[in-house]
Every structure is written in structure tokens, then in C-alpha cells.
Amino acid sequence: MKLSIQVNEGPYQHQASDSAFQFTKAAIEAGHDIFRVFFYHDGVNNGTRYTTPPQDDRHVVNNWSELSAAHDLDLVICVAAAQRRGLVDEGEAERNGKDGNNIAPGFRISGLGQLIEAGIQSDRLVVFGD
């Protein structure tokens, strides 16, 4: 089955991000294809490379980056939600006069069209968070 995942909550606000990560990992291990993981609303905070949790805490951002690297996942951050929350990649930083980017490895910024495409191309779109 081809799945897409939508994550609407930040990495440390609610259980949604952890649940989405565990679900995605389990789906891959079960042999399902992941078309895309789309981070929306506060979920875009899963893609900031400046997250620095305490050493004894889980590192949700790194978990997503590592899973993406291991399985060539398409981790997409909504551009409008990202800009509202201060997340920019190199292109957005340049366009908006910012002095750097803060997107974690494996993530990319794009628009809502990527979410629509994910829904069309997948058998199921599974949403985590409000």
C-alpha cells in the first residue's frame, strides 16, 4: 500500500509527531511505500535543525532525518506555515533577506500542492494531530 503522512503538531507539544514517526517506521518495516511526509501547521517545527533536546530525551528531528536518509523519504515542510514560524531554507532565506537557513537534513520546503499530490498519489493519507 502506498501511504502519505501529514504531521500537524510540533515535536515536543503533543504525542502526534512521535506517533507519526513510529507509524511511518512501522509501515516501512511492514513493506508499505511512503510517498511523502508533509509537515503542516506547528508540525513544521519537526524540521528545524536548531532543535537541541537534553541528552537523555528523544531527538524527534534527528529521528525524522535519519529515517529519511535510510529510506529516501520525501519530508516536505509547508512553506507558508514555515515562514510564519521562522523556518527558512537557503532559497527562502535569500528571497526574504535572512542571514541563514535552519532546515534539518532530509527536509525540504514546498507548497500545499505537495499535500494535494500526496493525497492523489497515495492509497491513504494518514493525519497526525489537530
Which residues form the catalytic set? 78
**DSSP annotation of 110:** E
Q: Which residues of 57-76 are buried (b: 16+ CB within 10 A; e: fewer)?
A: eeebbebbbebbeeeebbbb
CA distance 61 to 59: 6
Q: How many CA atoms lie within 13 A of 4 on its CB side?
A: 19
The dihedral over CA atoms of 87, 89, 90, 92, expressed in degrees to the nearest 10, equals -70
